[in-house]
Amino acid sequence: MTLPASAYQDAAAAIRARCDLTPRWAIVLGSGLGPLADHVEVSAEFAYEDLPHFPRSTAVGHAGRLLLGRLEGQAVVVMQGRFHLYEGWSPQQTAMPIRVMHALGARSLVVTNAAGGLNPQMQVGDPMVITDQINLMFQNPLIGPNDDALGPRFPDMSQPYDPAYGETAKAAARRGDFACHAGVYAGMLGPTYETRAEYRMLRRLGASAAGMSTVPEVIAARHAGMRVLGISTVTNVCNPDALGETSGQEVVDAASNASSKLLAMVTAVIRSAG
């Protein structure tokens, strides 16, 4: 489903009607990572179903709320829950909130997710700064007519994640004395978790973590010229030679338990960009 530019403006206008805060940062909180929103000084809160053209969040661990407020003194707009292709939404719909947050004024994006760790050195609860991505969803939110007001027809994706933001996030992990990895995120369609053969394939492709989100959002953000920090929280270790079963609730619980690490990294980046 291709959305007209008016859809993004309609949603942004509905938000502005209740809150005149102009956010500098957009933050997307993935599965189980919603508690970070507790640290936002909230000025306004919106249920997704109250915003025009917004999809509905149906995934486990996604509250389905948009918050405007301040974090570390910076104006932010926060998605407490996101939309996934496996829920039946189109790539354009999954990326729509990024367009709306950009229309509100956000020029930097923090995107977080829960992911399966492919690096044998990873442990459950470890964060990973995303340095690059592989789109194995084989779908793209930019397919269809291009609106030049939103971005160029052929946007460059040679560096989707901002290196300076990533270095600041890793430095925060060192100060906090907790493990932090850096690597490539593979976006999978889902909703099934991967097979042993798929995990082996992902390792050979150079992926360090795999999940079912993030890629369409980052494509839309870079199309709009936004700087992006991406952080995955490892919620299950994907060893194809000793693979256990994984449930959605286990993923949410593991991410929630690691949210303090995420908070330290995100707030460090926001402070540094002051």
Is 84 assigned to a binding site?
yes
Q: What is the pLDDT along the chain (274 residues), one digit of tens a residue?
A: 567 668 889 999 999 999 999 999 999 998 656 677 888 999 999 999 999 988 876 655 556 899 999 999 999 999 998 899 999 999 999 999 999 999 999 999 999 998 999 998 999 899 999 999 999 999 999 999 998 989 999 999 999 999 999 999 999 999 999 999 999 999 999 999 899 999 999 999 999 999 999 999 999 999 999 999 999 999 888 666 655 555 546 556 655 667 889 999 999 999 987 6
pTM of the model: 0.92
Is 31 assigned to a binding site?
yes
Is 41 assigned to a binding site?
no
Please write down the HEC assignment for all residues of the chain.
Answer: CCCCHHHHHHHHHHHHCCCCCCCCEEEEECCCCHHHHHHCEEEEEEEHHHCCCCCCCCCCCCCCEEEEEEECCEEEEEEECCCCHHHCCCHHHHHHHHHHHHHHCCCEEEEEEEEEECCCCCCCCCEEEEEEEEECCCCCCCCCCCCCCCCCCCCCCCCCCCHHHHHHHHHHHHHHCCCCEEEEEEECCCCCCCCHHHHHHHHHHCCCEEECCCHHHHHHHHHCCCEEEEEEEEEEECCCCCCCCCCHHHHHHHHHHCHHHHHHHHHHHHHHHC
Model pLDDT, residue 218? 98
Is 194 assigned to a binding site?
yes
Which CATH topology does 5-273 take? Rossmann fold (3.40.50)
Model pLDDT, residue 259? 81
Domain positions in the chain: 5-273
Model pLDDT, residue 246? 55
Model pLDDT, residue 240? 63
Is 62 assigned to a binding site?
yes
